[in-house]
Structure 1
Amino acid sequence: MGNIGGFFNNVLSEMRKVSWPKRKELTRYTVVVLSTCIFMALFFAAVDAGISELIRWFLAL
């Protein structure tokens, strides 16, 4: 059980060394991540719609 206490002490020690982002940086990173997710969702939705139309077109022949 002594190892568990040592583990958590090491975790706390390492967490104190972490360089946390400032509010402005965090906001910028959040905007980048959300805009990338939205762009990728729209891109793949468009690709999916295009492939679906191609399949429908080939099946209608």
Structure 2
Amino acid sequence: MNVAGYLQEVAKEMRKVTWPTQKELISNTVVTIVATLVISLFIFGADRVISTVLEVIYG
């Protein structure tokens, strides 16, 4: 397959894509940001606890 044929196939497949609505996009973006913040806070808290425990153990 040559480059032109490849690009035609890409264009053909892109026409089949179902794009999200603006409402869906915003909703999914908010969910992603909130999940990222929650996971980040959990990792931060776990790191602080582990650091404190190790500091107590090793002085």
- The TM-score range, normalised by the shorter chain, is over 0.9
Over 3 Å off, 4+ runs: none
1:43, distance to aligned residue in structure 2 (A): 0.4
1:22, distance to aligned residue in structure 2 (A): 0.1
TM-score normalised to structure 1 length = 0.93
Question: Counterparts of 1:49 and 1:3 in 2: how far apart (Å)?
Answer: 55
Q: What SS is found at the alignment partner of 1:7? A: helix
Q: What is the 5 A alignment of 1:40-59?
A: 40-59=39-58
How many residues are aligned here? 59
TM-score normalised to structure 2 length = 0.96
Q: What is the 5 A alignment of 1:5-20?
A: 5-20=4-19
Q: Which runs of 5+ in 2 are unaligned?
A: none
Percentage of pairs with the same residue = 36
